[in-house]
Structure 1
Amino acid sequence: MGGGNRWIRPEVWPLFAAVGVAVGICGMQLVRNITINPEVRVTKEKRAAGVLENFAEGERYSQHFLRRFVRNKSPEIMPSINKFFSDPN
């Protein structure tokens, strides 16, 4: 038989990287939901409060930095190249 590290081939490293990024994004979203989501209540005292009408906190949660940053941007990856090839002038 061969060496002990035969199952780790160079072709699988991009797969490991993609899965690692996906797990990282999922973990980040879980931590974000547990810590700052106004609808998630971990402690018993907060759960006993019932339904809260706290619209300001919900607005802060839903309109986070990334959403505010891309709000008025065009939904293009490379706008200058798109304008170069699509503009008739």
Structure 2
Amino acid sequence: MASATLNRWLRPEVYPLFLAVGTAVGICGMQLIRNIVTNPEVRVTKENRAAGILENFAEGEKYAEHSLRKFVRNKSPEIMPSVNNFFSKPN
């Protein structure tokens, strides 16, 4: 029984599906860990939860302005700019 199920799902045609789902789960896990560890509004320990609402704007600004956002801030919102320029700006 287990052999038939294993042979049904572990075919080479299914590998891209496993890759896509694994990538999505990895991205979700990374974001979950990022929020638990670095978000100033998430408090996991009892002592931090007892503190109530904190007015810590510097920590919130540091969380919101992460390195990826700083990197793409002045970039053009195009996936392939050279292809876009080739078709939109003739010589």
TM-score (norm 2): 0.87
Distance 1:83 1:16 in 2: 35
Give the structure 2 partner of residue 31 of structure 1: 33
RMSD between aligned alpha carbons? 1.7
SS at match of 1:6: helix
Structure richer in helix, relative to its length: 2
Aligned partners of 2:7 and 2:43: how far apart in 1? 47
Quote the residue 1:57 is aligned against.
59
The normalised TM-score by structure 1 is 0.89
Deviations 1:26-65 (A, max 9, x none): 1111111111100000011110110011111111111111
| Gap runs ≥5 in structure 1 | none
Q: Note the residue ranges of structure 2 that are not aligned, 5 or more in a row.
A: none
2: CA distance, partners of 1:62 / 1:46? 20
User: Map of 1:5-20 to 2, 5 A cutoff?
Assistant: 5-7=6-8, 8-20=10-22
- The Cα shift of 1:85 comes to 1.6
Structure 2 letter corresponding to 1:6: N
What is the aligned partner in structure 2 of residue 76 from structure 1?
Answer: 78
Structure 2 counterpart SS, 1:23: helix
Q: 41, 44, 47: which one pairs with 1:45?
A: 47
